[in-house]
Structure 1
Amino acid sequence: MSDITAPDITTIAICSTALGAIMCIAMLLSWFKDGRPGTRSWLFAPFGIAVPAGILLTYPDVLPGPWGLLLGWYFLTVVYGAAWTAARVLGGRRPQVMAVLLPCTAVLVFTATIGADSHMPDLRMLPRVLLFTAFNGLAAREFGRLRSPRLPSATTLYWIFTAFFLFDLARSPFSLWLAAPFGPKEPEVWSIALFNFLLVLEGSLLAMFVTALGREQQAEQNYRLASIDPLTGIGNRRALEERLNMLEQNAASAPGRQTVLAVLDIDHFKAVNDQMGHAFGDTVIAGAAKTAENVFGTGNVFRVGGEEFAAIIRAPDDEACIAQAETMRTRFAAHPHGSGPASRTCTISIGLARLDTAPDHGAAFKAADRALYMAKRLGRNKAIMLDSTPAEHMPPEPARLGEKPA
């Protein structure tokens, strides 16, 4: 027997159809509730396609000849492809509709032609199982790319699809001999029950954790927005604090390199604002952030005040760290802001202190702040590095970053 008959698959099809319909309706309601975002429309596609698949597998006689069962299995393979598409969309990647439809259609043609040959009935199920395996593996890869501490549901979905991928991969060689619906042989109670259970299980888990993942992604986006400075697009003080905490926890992960905290302040910024206007001042701040990112690297620069920045420098020794700070200082001083007669250059002062020798990053920040204060007192447009250990004969430090000479 090459395909399961309608009575044999009634339980499976009814469960699949009911689950698909319920989940599709739930996803649609959530979609409307959230303002119908375009990306979310793909999330209910697997459940929506499961509905015609279940109907055709339950009532194949609605179409003439074998086409009811053939198209029912066709839509079931598309369901797995739609799950992969939903995973891509959740990861911010473009859907690959033709990459789903073309292999599914090819399998349909195969089962309707070569697979229908009375001498080769055992080959019908193998290409379907291979498609299930491929789509589960691709979905697992997409969710694997999303894994992060802030998205635990992505990790769970990765392992769910990996488990189903491994199961389908393991059963692929046996799809020539297993009982239907796992293979071409006569269906048995265990095969019907197991196939039914796996369909319901995978669909339920997908719906549950995809919904949770959507909430986690929204929370992560809100968190990122709260950690980004809107003017410059770099991290703010909150992001700096997290980065410093992370560096403290992984202090021994980069042998042979040292970590330095740099505090930067645009010189005479109040005069620039007064003379050129606040819009020009914003241009100078944005230019400083861009130059700093080019020198210190994206993700290593943070805006901690009006015209004040902090940067993380990773280099083999003190000289290399100071050289990076000097590169930042000279590049910024040489860069004109504005255009025409309204353009002008500005300078920046930099204080540095080693993070890896400081008792904590608070002490390193204070030391870098003192170095910056000293650079201001010594004429500005300088980069000075101080020891992170508080010294007795340092210039008096300001009460907080920002209370220093302009």
Structure 2
Amino acid sequence: MTSTSHSTDRRRHDPLVRLFDWLTTLPPDEAARHRGDILATAMLSPFALLTSSLGILMMSLLAMLFTQAPWATAWFVADVLLLGARFALAWRYQIRGGAIPDAIARRTICLTCLVFVLFSAGCSASLMTATPPLPMVATASMMGLVAGLATRWAALPRLALFTIVLYTIPFCIAGMIADGGSFVAGAMQFLIVTTGTAALTLQNHRTLVAMLRAERKARALAETDVLTGLPNRAGLLSRLHRRAERPPEANISTIALLFVDLDRFKAINDAHGHSAGDAVLTTLGQRIARTAAPHFTCRLGGDEFVVMVEGGDVALAPSIARRVADALAEPMPDIAADPIIAGGSVGIAFGTPGRFDGEQLLAEADAALYVAKRAGDGSEVAVAPTGMASAA
């Protein structure tokens, strides 16, 4: 098993990952496929986060100013620290153009839950004081919180509903006993409105999941080669782009691109026709994918294919390339009257930590391929991390 497979298994067995997938209410396999998209829907942009943070800080600041109580001061200080940490993460990964890693996003959601727990407790305490204008501001703030959870966390309906219930109950209890029960009617109305808003979470969830499924299907179609069923050039570039966006600590392993080109495809096309040529591309594309499995394989275009090797198997890239070349040299007996033999050449380029540019790596693999083709059919070429090609 490759290190990539080990990493995938570790993620699947991570308790926090399993909990996150359960919160989506989706089947485990689908939850895993949509995990990144769902996390993205739960993350606020820096501007939206700034405005929501100002609203939370305004509530705790008013409580501190009007009550001058130690609990209100502690609430305000805790808000400043926690919200500052949240905004720092958003600034680091979004303003500077990087995607938030899944692990960081999950921790951010946990941090957000803590902020909301403090917010609910603080608003409840503010209502209990019955000090104008705190009850009115606290009620409006809590309604804003419930509405935000029903929309922002719609992809995680179990979490949204649980947190709405968790934050609403203390506030309603506070409203019923505050100031001798003078806020009972308001507390009941708040409970009714909150229940209706929470019900929208399920509707929002269905709409959001349908949208995510449609977007994923559209991306899959856009990144799939119609003839072979393999990923296409757009799929490869998307995968390379996502890998380049990983934080430096995640780029600890090297990567190898194997650029594969069929040696006699034009002659086969001319001799047997385009239908036979399509059958050759389909057959050999599947051969390459099987030989290089479990590594990513795509059809770049024409008679060119690329295999992306990651993790512990990068050192085996030359032997994988050799096996691919051998597989391409095997006859194809079922396409024409006589068995067809295409053959192929492979160029290899290696990327290393601190030096990862997907487009440059692909260009180096392409250059290595031409060295291989000049060396003769069925050759493979290794490219050093410096970009200098040398025959393997």
TM-score range, shorter chain: 0.5 to 0.7
Q: Which residue matches 2:226?
A: 230
Q: Which residue matches 1:265?
A: 261
Q: 1:343 to 1:206 in 2, by over 3 A?
A: same
Q: Following TM superposition, by how much is the alpha carbon of 1:259 offset from its aligned partner in structure 2, in angstroms?
A: 0.9
Q: Following TM superposition, by how much is the alpha carbon of 1:212 offset from its aligned partner in structure 2, in angstroms?
A: 4.0
Q: State the Cα deviation string for residues 257-315 of structure 1 (Å, max 9, x = none).
A: 42111110011110010111111111111122212222323561121110001111125
- Name the CA distance, whole Å, in 2 between partners of 1:207 and 1:169: 20
Q: Following TM superposition, by how much is the alpha carbon of 1:246 offset from its aligned partner in structure 2, in angstroms?
A: 2.1
Q: Which residue matches 1:142?
A: 26
Q: 1:210 to 1:332 in 2, by over 3 A?
A: same
Residues 118-267 of structure 1 aligned to structure 2 (within 5 Å): 140-142=24-26, 145=31, 147-151=34-38, 152=40, 156-165=153-162, 193=189, 196-250=192-246, 252-253=249-250, 255=252, 257-267=253-263
- Name the CA distance, whole Å, in 2 between partners of 1:138 and 1:317: 32
Cα contact 1:367–1:389 (8 A) shared by 2: no
Q: State the Cα deviation string for residues 116-170 of structure 1 (Å, max 9, x = none).
A: xxxxxxxxxxxxxxxxxxxxx9774328816444455588224342232467699
Q: 1:317 to 1:342 in 2, by over 3 A?
A: closer
Q: 1:193 to 1:286 in 2, by over 3 A?
A: same
- The one-letter amino acid of 1:207's match is Q
Q: 1:342 to 1:226 in 2, by over 3 A?
A: same
- Name the CA distance, whole Å, in 1 between partners of 2:276 and 2:336: 13
- The one-letter amino acid of 1:348's match is G
2:330 to 319, 330, 334: 334
Q: Which residue matches 1:344?
A: 340
Determine if the alignment matches structure 1 residue 378 to structure 2 residue 262: no
Cα contact 1:153–1:212 (8 A) shared by 2: no
Q: 1:269 to 1:320 in 2, by over 3 A?
A: same
Cα contact 2:24–2:158 (8 A) shared by 1: yes
Q: Following TM superposition, by how much is the alpha carbon of 1:327 offset from its aligned partner in structure 2, in angstroms?
A: 1.3
Cα contact 1:262–1:350 (8 A) shared by 2: yes
Q: Following TM superposition, by how much is the alpha carbon of 1:362 offset from its aligned partner in structure 2, in angstroms?
A: 2.7
TM-score, with normalisation over the residues of structure 2? 0.53
- Name the CA distance, whole Å, in 1 between partners of 2:257 and 2:35: 26
Q: 1:360 to 1:163 in 2, by over 3 A?
A: closer
SS of equivalent residue, structure 1 residue 334: coil
- The one-letter amino acid of 1:304's match is L
- Name the CA distance, whole Å, in 2 between partners of 1:212 and 1:170: 24
TM-score, with normalisation over the residues of structure 1? 0.51
1:362 to 359, 362, 375: 359
**Which structure carries more helix by proportion?**
2
Cα contact 1:314–1:321 (8 A) shared by 2: no
Determine if the alignment matches structure 1 residue 278 to structure 2 residue 280: no
- The one-letter amino acid of 2:214's match is Q
- The one-letter amino acid of 2:291's match is V
* Identity within the alignment, %: 21
Q: Larger C-alpha radius of gyration, 1 or 2?
A: 1
Q: Following TM superposition, by how much is the alpha carbon of 1:372 offset from its aligned partner in structure 2, in angstroms?
A: 0.7
Unaligned runs of 5+ in 2: 1-20, 43-151, 170-183
- Name the CA distance, whole Å, in 1 between partners of 2:336 and 2:362: 39
Q: 1:234 to 1:340 in 2, by over 3 A?
A: closer
- The one-letter amino acid of 1:199's match is T
Q: Following TM superposition, by how much is the alpha carbon of 1:326 offset from its aligned partner in structure 2, in angstroms?
A: 1.0
Q: Which residue matches 1:26?
A: none
The higher-RCO structure (CA 8 Å, 6+ apart) is: 2
Cα contact 2:255–2:310 (8 A) shared by 1: yes
Cα contact 2:260–2:346 (8 A) shared by 1: yes
Cα contact 1:153–1:213 (8 A) shared by 2: no
Q: 1:315 to 1:347 in 2, by over 3 A?
A: farther
Cα contact 2:295–2:309 (8 A) shared by 1: no
Q: Which moved more, 1:141-150 or 1:339-348?
A: 141-150
- Name the CA distance, whole Å, in 2 between partners of 1:340 and 1:305: 23
Q: Following TM superposition, by how much is the alpha carbon of 1:242 offset from its aligned partner in structure 2, in angstroms?
A: 1.5
Cα contact 1:287–1:337 (8 A) shared by 2: no
Q: Which residue matches 1:309?
A: 305
Give the aligned CA root-mean-square deviation in angstroms. 3.8
Unaligned runs of 5+ in 1: 1-136, 173-187, 396-406
- The one-letter amino acid of 1:202's match is A
- Name the CA distance, whole Å, in 2 between partners of 1:314 and 1:267: 26
Q: 1:171 to 1:153 in 2, by over 3 A?
A: closer
SS of equivalent residue, structure 2 residue 288: helix
Cα contact 2:233–2:298 (8 A) shared by 1: yes
Q: 1:323 to 1:272 in 2, by over 3 A?
A: same
